[in-house]
Homo-oligomer: A and B are copies of this chain.
Amino acid sequence: MKVLIADDDPQLVRALRITLAAHGYEVIAAPDGVAAVALAAKENPDIVMVDLGMPRLDGIQVIEALRGWSGAPIIVVSGRTGSADKVEALDAGADDYVSKPFQIDELLARLRALSRRAGAASAAPVVSFGDVVIDLSTKTVTRGGERVHLTPTEWRILEFLARNPGSLVTRQALLKDIWGTEQVADTGYLRLYMSQLRKKLEADPGHPVHLLTESGMGYRLVVDA
């Protein structure tokens, strides 16, 4: 069970690290928002504890960024006790909110409750279709056992699709996630990358079976049951 702590108070992080480690958790930590998001993408933690009021990227923004692709439970640990802060954090996608100072045994109980509920629904970190296997945790793609090389942009598109297997993904959702553009100005790159992904992953790129396009709406990755 891997826990990511995003907090800029080194003393608190140190205390938590010792306590959590004593209870069997593996702990990783980041001192600011940007580092937290990057570390989460790299390590794929099972639970995330985030402080509001961090440097570089606010806690709320960290929550929103994580919720874009991760289903891991998020618990906010903050010095702010106002209900407005709690509502904002919970509605941004957090699962729980604990105010400082807190009792350590209560925090541990809340962690157990969260992981208990999330554990029932956690998805496998690999998806596969045909002879292609996508490992989301190690960021590798193999086809018939052979490693397939993808460019960073190709990987990000495929990852987004693989995190929503079987689901229709609209073009604007992809554009917003990959390029951050609010505008839906399709200048054509997406079509280009889909074409290249098909060339690398489909048996017959001219007649795709798994990387499907739904005309007028977006794309869909059809995976094995």
Contacts and interface: CB of A to CB of B under 8 A. Distances in A.
A109 interface: yes
Contacts of A73: 117
Given A83-B106, A139-B167, A151-B215, 11 more contacts: A84-B105, A87-B105, A91-B113, A94-B113, A117-B118, A138-B164, A138-B167, A138-B168, A139-B168, A139-B214, A140-B166
A95 interface: yes
A112 B217 CA distance: 29
B110 A90 contact: yes
Interface string A96-139: 11000001011011101100111011000000000000000111
Given A87-B109, A112-B91, A152 B216 contact: yes
Interface in A120-176: 120-121, 137-140, 149, 151-152, 155, 164, 166-168
Contacts of A121: 117, 120-121
Interface residues of A, number: 42
A31 interface: no
A86 interface: yes
A53 interface: no
B71 A87 contact: no
A113 B90 contact: yes
Nearest to A116: B93
B87 A106 contact: yes
B139 A217 contact: yes
12 contacts: A87-B108, A87-B109, A90-B109, A91-B109, A96-B96, A96-B113, A117-B118, A137-B167, A138-B166, A139-B214, A152-B216, A155-B217
